[in-house]
Amino acid sequence: MEIPYDSVLLRIIIGESDRAEGRPLYEAIVLKAREKGLAGATVLRGAMGFGKSSHLHTTKILRLSYDLPVVIEIVDSEAKIEAFLKLLDGMIVGGMITLEKVRAVRYVGTKPAD
């Protein structure tokens, strides 16, 4: 799969406890991105964060971690990302989505095994 030199980074920030389709929301998003043929997706679990409510979520040892931030990053062509955004409307209730123009310098991967 080729990724265009001039691409778009889609960054989705949600809570770890968010759910869709009976599974964690981040998992549902990644599976949907794969189904739609996007170049790839990465999920990152945050150690600390807060959102609109200013409620602090943290992994500190003496605190029970609850609903930590999760970031999903997807890079592909602007057209494919724009089409994927429409699918996210029905999946994401709360969180934040950002887009950035990026330059994909190198994309090396192996052909997926079916």
Is the confidence at residue 4, as pLDDT, over 90?
Answer: no
Per-residue pLDDT tens over the stretch 7-65: 999 999 999 989 998 999 999 999 999 999 999 999 999 877 777 666 666 666 555 55
Cβ pair 55, 44 in contact under 8 A: no
Q: Where are the domains of the chain?
A: 6-103
Residue (of 2, 5, 66) closest to 40 by Cα position: 2
pLDDT confidence tier of residue 1, bands split at 50, 70 and 90: low
Topology adopted by domain 6-103: Alpha-Beta Plaits (3.30.70)
Instruction: Measure CA 17 to chain center.
Output: 14
Q: What is the model's pTM?
A: 0.82
pLDDT score recorded for residue 94: 87
